[in-house]
Amino acid sequence: MSTLYEKLGGEETIAKVVDYFYDLVLADDTVNHFFKNTDMEKQRRHQTKFISFALGGPNQYTGGSMAKVHEGMNIQPAHFDAIVRHLRDALAHFGVGEDDIAQALDKVETLRGDIIYK
């Protein structure tokens, strides 16, 4: 059985999804302030590796723990939900089916506790 990572077309496709995802995020005034001082090129690369791993691809993610990298951001449930919504929209934009989107978002959901209220 192939992983969701393989099904979506590997890192190259995931990089496109991540680019589109950040276009949506940066256009959203409810969450874009979290990225005000962020090197977005580095952020996009990091996120591509992280999402690739989360979807069953190789573990090339070398960033800090989720709790550590979100420390001091005070991300609220509504912010987390907005990010999830943008990821859903980005995956749908690239033709990912509902079942696969649900599977991907289930993985993201497991990180909620490490990200909000930090």
Annotated binding site for heme: 46, 70
- Could you list the residues known to form a binding site, using ranges: 46, 70
Residue partners of 11: CB distance under 8 A and separation at least 6:
5, 48, 49, 52, 57
**3-class secondary-structure state, position 50:** helix
**In which element (H, E) is residue 85 found?**
helix 77-93
- The residue written with tokens 């979506």 in the block is 8
